[in-house]
């Protein structure tokens, strides 16, 4: 609920900064490591928008996969089946470079 509320606050702030422009859609990026259930976020968002000044604001959620980088060979790869080893050189020590994000990606403003 608090994440959905934060998204709505950001939408209101951006709308106000643009002279009260009407926002029709908001897009967010959610990493698979962010511990956010996209369907629960959507449910909370829709419940909070219904009957509010932002209705009929739509939410688009883009789920970003976990990516690791291998310091040995420089490969950046998507993690599959929790295997963090580099698929090219087999190095076991890789570092997380994405998958934990929660970003406001875009707003669609209607004219």
Fold of the 2-65+98-110 domain: hypothetical protein PF0899 fold (3.30.2320)
**Cα–Cα distance measured from residue 83 to residue 7, given in angstroms and rounded to the nearest whole number:** 33
Domain residue extents for the chain: 2-65+98-110
With contact defined as beta carbons under 8 Å apart, do 105 and 27 qualify?
yes
> Is the pTM for the entire model greater than 0.85?
no
pLDDT in tens, 41-96: 999 999 999 999 999 999 999 999 999 999 999 999 999 999 999 999 999 999 99
With contact defined as beta carbons under 8 Å apart, do 72 and 53 qualify?
no
């Amino acid at each position: 609920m608090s994440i959905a509320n934060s998204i709505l606050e950001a939408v209101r702030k951006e709308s106000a900064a643009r002279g009260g422009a009407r926002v029709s859609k908001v897009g967010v990026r959610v990493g698979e490591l962010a511990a956010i259930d996209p369907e629960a976020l959507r449910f909370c968002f829709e419940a909070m928008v219904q009957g509010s000044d932002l209705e009929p604001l739509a939410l688009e959620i883009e789920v970003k996969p976990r990516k690791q980088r291998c310091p040995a060979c420089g490969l950046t790869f998507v993690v599959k089946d929790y295997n963090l080893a580099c698929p090219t050189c087999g190095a076991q020590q890789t570092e997380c470079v994405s998958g934990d994000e929660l970003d406001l990606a875009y707003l669609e403003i209607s004219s």
